[in-house]
Amino acid sequence: MARTLLVTGGAGFIGSCFVLQARERGERVINLDKLTYAGNPDNLASLAQDPDHILVQGDIGNAELVNWLLRQYRPDAVVNFAAESHVDRSILDPEAFVRTNVLGTSTLLRVVKNWWQNLDEPAKSSFRFLHVSTDEVYGALKPGDPAFCETTPYSPNSPYSASKAASDHLVRAFHETYGLPTLITNCSNNYGPRQFPEKLIPLTIINARNNRSIPVYGTGSNIRDWLHVEDHCAAIALVLEKGRVGESYNIGGHSARTNLEVVQSICEILQQEEPSPTMYADLILFVTDRPGHDFRYAIDCSKIERELGWKPAHTFATGLVDTVLWYLANDAWVENVCSGAYLDWVDRNYGHRG
């Protein structure tokens, strides 16, 4: 029988990509998603008639619901994407991040652990709980520092990364204390189709196309390592299949760029695809920096490459072109997510930056 996965947060940007890939592999997916502003069933429109994708609206912190789903569907693995994911929102409302990322993950772990303890062999030893985390838990690097590896001490700087770090520690503790067969992945900045436009790359594409200014925090010299979402999800599937229980795996794209380089590249691609009489790059506006803005992230992903044979399939150059083309071709998706609630956010985050 095909494997069953309980995926949480599977209507978001990365989770939906993982769900689509899982269905291509023939796995049955139970998708538990609260459908916050970031959760979008349109991301899964191609699965609307698929009986092996079951979308359940609900919270990972709802113990009764999670318990019922486990008993009803008996998943072979839980893959936890559910989170509040935007650093700027965590600066304006940290508690929402503690509620889902810390308390929600804690409840999910407890309920899954209680259910797992009563499984018979071989289901018990083959079960996996995979937690999707971020490179931001390691803190910020200075220009010449070596890239983050799995043994780099945690040193989170934003309420978002602190809440993700706390959830990683809980996952680790459930393995050490109860023997729950856990795995953690820590990845760098994702990009690709269906990313909510609060994040730098889709925000830049959408603002430029609408002739609105492109806000670059500070001087634009902060560095991120960009990973295509499909490469990230392929890596998660590999860790789920072959990763060593109790371990964590870093996943990166070998594509470190300054924010200004990223924004300028997008403007060049747009100029090529939809030439504008005024240059898109003229829309770049340097605005007040993000408080506590991490200067640089870089991922050493030699462990997953060496142990599991993973390599990213996309280069940033082609991946970025494909991403811009996806946004150009999907006006209806863009219009749908740029709703009233999103406009409120734009006002709250950018209104005071000048």
- Residue 201: closest CA among 109, 209, 18, 83: 209
Please answer whether residues 193 and 337 qualify as being in contact, where contact means their C-beta atoms are separated by less than 8 angstroms. Answer: no
User: Under rule CB under 6 A, which residues in 54-93 are in contact with ligand NAD?
Assistant: 59-61, 81-85
> How far apart are alpha carbons 232 and 252 in whole angstroms?
8
Using CA atoms, how far residue 347 sits from 183, 221, 340, in Å, is 39, 24, 11
Residue with the two structure tokens 């795995």: 183
Asked if 128 touches ligand TDX (CB under 6 A), the answer is no
Look up 191 and say whether it is catalytic.
no
Site string for ligand NAD, 163-202 (x = CB under 6 A): -x----------------------x-xx-----x------
Total chain residues near ligand NAD (CB under 6 A): 31
Q: Which stretch binds ligand NAD (CB under 6 A): 6-14, 47-55, 138-146, 339-347?
A: 6-14
Using CA atoms, how far residue 345 sits from 128, 194, 218, 266, 342, in Å, is 37, 18, 20, 23, 5
- H helices of 274-301, in order, are none
Q: Name which position in 199, 232, 303, 314 contacts ligand TDX (CB under 6 A).
A: 199
Q: Name which position in 60, 200, 240, 267 contacts ligand TDX (CB under 6 A).
A: 200
Asked if 105 touches ligand TDX (CB under 6 A), the answer is no
Residue with the two structure tokens 């993000």: 290
Asked if 314 touches ligand TDX (CB under 6 A), the answer is no
Asked if 159 touches ligand NAD (CB under 6 A), the answer is no
Please answer whether residues 28 and 2 qualify as being in contact, where contact means their C-beta atoms are separated by less than 8 angstroms. Answer: yes
DSSP string, 120-174: PTTHHHH-EEEEEEEGGGG----TTPPPB-TTSPP---SHHHHHHHHHHHHHHHH
Asked if 34 touches ligand TDX (CB under 6 A), the answer is no
Asked if 215 touches ligand TDX (CB under 6 A), the answer is yes
Complex with ligand TDX: residue 216 or 251, whichever CB lies closer: 216
Asked if 186 touches ligand TDX (CB under 6 A), the answer is no
Look up 52 and say whether it is catalytic.
no
Look up 138 and say whether it is catalytic.
no
Please report how close the Cβ of residue 24 comes to ligand NAD at its closest, in angstroms: 18
Closest residue to ligand NAD, based on beta-carbon distance: 12
Q: Name which position in 22, 77, 79, 87 contacts ligand TDX (CB under 6 A).
A: 87
Please answer whether residues 259 and 222 qualify as being in contact, where contact means their C-beta atoms are separated by less than 8 angstroms. Answer: yes
Count how many residues are written for the chain. 354
- Footprint of ligand NAD on this chain (CB under 6 A)? 8-9, 11-15, 32-36, 38-39, 59-61, 81-85, 100, 104, 132, 134, 164, 187, 189-190, 196
Residues serving a catalytic function are 135-136, 160
